[in-house]
Structure 1
Amino acid sequence: MSKLSEAVYRRKEKLIEELIALGIYKKEEHHLYELTLSEIETEYSHEIERKKPLE
C-alpha cells in the first residue's frame, strides 16, 4: 500500500470512529465504510457544526 493510500485509509478510519461515537452509522442508505473520504469529511464537518453550542 502506498503512503498516500495508507494515509487516506487511516484518516477515513479515524473519522468513521468519531462519527460512530457521535451515533452516526449511516448516511442515507449507505454505511460509513461505503463512503469516500471526502463524503465522510463532509458528514463529519456537518455533525461537528450541528453539535456546536449556539453563541
Structure 2
Amino acid sequence: MAPQLRTSVEGRKKQLIHLLISNGIYKKSDRHLYELSLGELESEYQICKEGAGHAET
C-alpha cells in the first residue's frame, strides 16, 4: 500500500474509533475497535448513526 494511502486509511480509522467511543461503543462482539478493518468500522459507525436517528423520532 502506498504511504499516502496508508496514512489516509489509518487517519480515518482513528477518526471512526474516536466517534464510536464517543457514542459508547468499545467493542464489536469480542473484538476491540482497533482490531477492525476500515470497512468494519465504517459499517459499525453507520449502524450507530442510524440508531441515533431512530431514537430522536
Deviating runs (4+, > 4 A) in structure 1?
Answer: none
Work out the CA distance in 1 between the residues paired with 2:31 and 2:52: 22
**How many residues are paired up?**
54
Give the fraction of aligned pairs with identical amino acids, expressed as a percent: 44
What is the TM-score of this pair, normalised by structure 1?
0.94
Structure 1 stretches lacking a partner, 5+ long: none
Q: RMSD over aligned Cα, in angstroms?
A: 1.0
Structure 2 stretches lacking a partner, 5+ long: none
Structure with the largest fraction of helix: 2
2:21 pairs with 1:20 = yes
What is the TM-score of this pair, normalised by structure 2?
0.91
